[in-house]
Amino acid sequence: MRSCNLLRTSKDLGDWSTATVVYADTSRESGHSSLESPFVVPRPEGFYLFVRNRLLEEDVVTTVSFSEDPAHFPSGERPWFAELKHAHAPEIVEIDGRYYIARVSGARHANRQAPAVGGWVEMAELQFR
């Protein structure tokens, strides 16, 4: 009854390993997983996991966790070390060694201040410190 992200690996995209828990929100019970859109960024110092937790709904929040092992991120009461407010399932891209975060701001489900018609994509440089 906990939300978690699972990992399965494959060498040929046909045969897959058994799923293992990579990250779990053990702070609250949930009838189904509230964690969505996981995204792992490899860096020289380790790995960063970006994941949206739908149970943190005061604002749309993506949390960021760090681990030296991409198959095991910390779990517990508050396993993340940073929050990105108003970021619904952001994409992280690397261009020439620099990282950028992109989010869709125009979709009504992604931003309550979105206009009734139209939308946009916002991008900002992401600094790892």
Tens of pLDDT, residues 88-112? 777 888 899 899 988 766 656 656 6
In this predicted model, what pLDDT tens digit does every residue of 21-74 receive, in sequence order?
A: 888 877 767 676 678 888 888 999 999 998 887 766 666 778 888 899 999 988
What is the per-residue pLDDT for 129?
76
Q: How far is CA 86 from CA 21, 26, 75, 121, in A?
A: 26, 23, 23, 13
Question: How many other CB atoms are found less than 10 A from the CB of residue 93?
Answer: 13
Based on DSSP, count helices (H) and strands (E) in the chain, helices before strands: 0, 9
Place of tokens 């910390």: 74
Count up the domains in the chain and report the number.
1
**CA atoms of 122 and 103, how far apart (whole Å):** 5
What range defines the domain where residue 114 resides? 3-126
Average pLDDT (3-11) is 87
- The answer to whether residues 118 and 105 touch, using CB atoms and an 8 Å cutoff, is no
